[in-house]
A and B are shown apart, each in its own frame.
Chain A
Amino acid sequence: SQQGEEDPQALSIQEGENATMNCSYKTSINNLQWYRQNSGRGLVHLILIRSNEREKHSGRLRVTLDTSKKSSSLLITASRAADTASYFCATVRGGSNYKLTFGKGTLLTVNP
């Protein structure tokens, strides 16, 4: 089963607007990570939130985690054209530190 499903699949906004992407997962987790991928390139780690944390900030990024709903959201504030990329959530299932499961991603397009 898919662990980590992003929503929406694609999002198009104007520069300066905020972008929110959601991730749902099915099993208990140790932590949840968000990655960015520019077209055809390697993934870049953005932020990690542990299962006992509810919110985390890094620059223009804000991540929330609701373990009761098994969901997380990534908010990018004041978006820029350079934020255009695919965004993936990834989860490490409880009980294992070695298997990382990615969602299918959200393609964010920020129009100048």
Chain B
Amino acid sequence: EAQVTQNPRYLITVTGKKLTVTCSQNMNHEYMSWYRQDPGLGLRQIYYSMNVEVTDKGDVPEGYKVSRKEKRNFPLILESPSPNQTSLYFCASSFKGAHQPQHFGDGTRLSIL
């Protein structure tokens, strides 16, 4: 089954404790991206990747890092999480870019205390 898998689905952690949210897709997609969703603000793009080893900033990249060492995986790293990063995070992928229909994961709800 074609899917985008995020882990964990839920996480409560404390300020400053490094965490990684994993994202994996099994559709051989070149394009992957991360979004955060906050009440009243909709989805905002954090980072995206056009292919292996090629990443770029979205609209809200501050406080986040990403890497794309393999085509199927695109982890989101919070090196020193802060409470303002409490949010619902989504990973998405498509064959070539944002101009194509995106396949979304089920989301990761992060709470930073």
Contacts and interface: CB of A to CB of B under 8 A. Distances in A.
Contacts of B102: 33, 35, 43, 45, 100
Interface stretch (A12-20, A68-76, A77-85, A102-110): A102-110
A103 B37 CA distance: 11
Interface residues of B, number: 31
Q: Is the interface of A mostly helix, strand, loop or mixed?
A: strand
A45 B103 contact: yes
Given A43-B104, A98-B98, A100-B98, A105 B42 contact: yes
A31 B99 contact: yes
A34 to B, nearest CB: 10
A57 interface: no
Interface in B53-106: 56, 58-59, 88, 90, 92, 96-106
B104 A44 contact: yes
B45 A100 contact: yes
Given A45-B102, A48-B101, A99 B58 contact: yes
Contacts of B59: 99, 101
Interface of B: 4, 31, 33, 35, 40-45, 48, 50, 56, 58-59, 88, 90, 92, 96-107, 109
